[in-house]
């Protein structure tokens, strides 16, 4: 089995992307970043999801992006509620260069493992318009990875797998359920309350609710 | 004055690159990463150099790459001594994806500052053959930066300045001395002793000594 490095946030998308990679025959090396996110509750979900997936290894790295700030997920800016998801603007929950930073860390680990496959659960359909979730970003990162590394110089070709990039949230959920995933383990909300309960009004909650609704499935997280 | 983000390690090259950016009219925002490097002594030098340069801000971030390892700078592997610098192989001091990770962090900070200029002291002449010091890597990172960020989507063009990339070590030193730099503040050695004194046998020490010798200048670090 080939090794891959999968970015695992504890959310619904990265769980599904990891499960698809596992179904495709990869041994999963899961990477979770404590980046000072407001919703650090998702780290617990990442651990639960990693265990459920039977990953080969789950690595957690600390990198406090609050020192940089610039996002409502890493500063005191309020998380937007009830936002128009059809709006063209990029919301304040965008974290500057986040996926570039995270993929770079995944790349470093992959190189140490002798792996050339990275997996990320980005989605360019039911999403918040983040630039680093788009196919053109992913392709550019692959180009960079081949030039950035010893492995690339020695002839390796890195691939960033984005199995969800063209799926709707409902399709992601349907696919995950077919793979036997328990979405009750995940966490999506950007602004949970002190008990970790979802706000139901941030982009992430709204997209999740719409996805479960369109998939015709109850969200196990809300049944608890 | 336009802001730039400069990666500042505490070594000779990044000090010179930062000074050139300052001479070019940039306000310096210096970024230093504690990455679990064996030669953490360089962090003290980064602080001294940042003060000497009068940077607008010096940000230090913790990101322990020992969790990933794969390099003699971030694991128990021995640092090579008396290596043939003409050899084609990439030595064990290569840190997987290091410059990709560091530039990504610089990019995130730049975006928060509203800056589009990044500065890195990479050199593709008197160096250890690291893939992420080459011009083609730098160009690929610029492409990625424009696609990865909100600023890029909104029309900004990021530039990664590499003022040293085509200079010999002697030329770098000559340039720095002309700018009034005190290289006695810097640290280059990968494997210093417990008192922080350079080993004089690692690539970094050998390249530094050769540079000072070819520049016809005494290294102030060795005069102390």
Give the Cα separation of A218 and A223 in Å (integer).
Answer: 8
| Homologous superfamily of domain range B3-222 | HUPs (3.40.50.620)
Strands in A27-34's sheet, in edge-to-edge order, are: A57-62, A27-34, A3-7, A117-119, A159-161
- Which residues make Cβ contacts (< 8 Å) with residue B139, sequence separation at least 6? none
| Segment holding A61, helix H or strand E | strand A57-62
Query: A101 with A63: CB under 8 angstroms?
Result: yes
Of A111, A131, A153, the CB nearest to B148: A131
Indicate yes or no: CB of B101 within 8 angstroms of CB of A99: no
Please report the DSSP string for A142-184 in residue order. Answer: HHHHHHHSHHHHTT---EEE-TTTT--HHHHHHHHHHTT--GG
The answer to whether B6 and B46 are in contact (CB under 8 A) is no
What whole-number distance in Å separates Cα of residue A144 and Cα of residue B96? 13
Measure the N-to-C terminal CA separation of chain A; round to a whole number of Å.
Answer: 37
Please answer yes or no on whether A105 and B95 come within 8 Å at the CB atom: no
- Angstroms from A150 CA to nearest CA on chain B: 6
A73: three-class secondary structure by DSSP: coil
Single out the residue of A23, A16, A44, A20 nearest to residue A32, CA to CA: A44
User: Smallest CA–CA separation between B8 and chain A, in Å?
Assistant: 16
Tokens representing B205 are: 């020490």
Round to whole Å and give the CA distance between B100 and B190.
20
Minimum CA–CA partner of A91 in chain B: B150
| Digit-coded pLDDT (tens) for B85-139 | 888 889 999 999 999 999 999 999 999 999 999 999 999 888 889 999 999 999 9
pLDDT value, residue B222: 86
Question: A34, A147, A151: which to substitute to probe chain B, counting the most B Cβ within 10 Å?
Answer: A147
- Cβ contacts of B98 on chain A, cutoff 8 Å: 108
Interface confidence (ipTM) of the complex: 0.97
Pick the CATH number of A3-223 from 3.40.50.620, 3.30.390.50, 3.50.30.10, 3.60.20.10: 3.40.50.620
pLDDT in tens, chain A (224 residues): 899 999 999 999 999 999 999 999 999 999 999 999 999 999 999 999 999 999 999 999 999 999 999 999 999 999 999 999 888 889 999 999 999 999 999 999 999 999 999 999 999 888 889 999 999 999 999 999 999 999 999 999 999 999 999 999 999 999 999 999 999 999 999 999 999 999 999 999 999 999 999 999 999 998 76
Q: What is the pLDDT of residues A6-15, one digit of tens each?
A: 999 999 999 9
> Average pLDDT for residues B58-63, to the nearest whole number?
98
Do the beta carbons of residue A140 and residue B107 sit within 8 Å?
no
d(CA A47, CA A50): 5
Which chain A residues are Cβ-neighbours of B99 within 8 angstroms?
A: 148
Does A153 sit within 8 Å of B147, measured CB to CB? Answer: no
Could B96 and A67 be called an inter-chain contact, meaning their C-beta atoms sit closer than 8 Å? no
What is the CA angle A122-A66-A95, rounded to 5? 25
> Which residue out of B29, B35, B104 would a mutagenesis test of the A interface target, given it has the greatest number of A Cβ atoms within 10 Å?
B104
Q: What distance in Å separates residue A143's CA from the closest CA in chain B?
A: 7
Q: How confident is the model at residue B40 (pLDDT cuts 50, 70, 90)?
A: very high
* CA B186 from centroid of its chain's CA atoms: 11
Q: What is the mean pLDDT of chain B?
A: 96
Output the pLDDT for position B224: 61
pLDDT digits (tens, 9 = 90+) for B203-219: 999 999 999 999 999 99
Contact across the interface for B61 and A61, Cβ inside 8 Å: no
């Amino acid at each position: 089995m080939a090794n891959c490095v999968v970015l695992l946030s504890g959310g619904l998308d990265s769980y599904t992307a990891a499960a698809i990679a596992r179904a495709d025959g990869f041994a999963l090396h899961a990477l979770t970043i404590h980046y000072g996110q407001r919703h650090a509750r998702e780290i617990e979900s990442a651990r639960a999801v990693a265990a459920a997936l039977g990953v080969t290894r789950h690595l957690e790295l600390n990198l406090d992006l609050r020192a940089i700030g610039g996002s409502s997920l890493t500063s005191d800016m309020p998380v937007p509620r009830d936002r128009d998801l059809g709006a063209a603007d990029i919301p304040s929950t965008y974290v500057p260069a986040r996926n570039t930073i995270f993929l770079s860390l995944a790349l470093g680990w992959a190189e140490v493992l002798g792996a050339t496959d990275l997996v990320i659960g980005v989605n360019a359909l039911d999403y918040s318009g983040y630039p680093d979730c788009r196919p053109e970003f992913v392709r550019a990162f692959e180009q960079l990875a081949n030039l950035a590394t010893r492995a690339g110089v020695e002839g390796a070709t890195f691939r960033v797998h984005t199995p969800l990039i063209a799926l709707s949230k409902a399709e992601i959920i349907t696919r995950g359920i077919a793979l036997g995933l328990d979405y009750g383990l995940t966490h999506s909300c950007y602004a949970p309350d002190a008990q970790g309960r979802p706000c139901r009004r941030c982009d992430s909650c709204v997209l999740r609710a719409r996805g479960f609704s369109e998939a015709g499935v109850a969200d196990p997280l809300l049944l608890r």
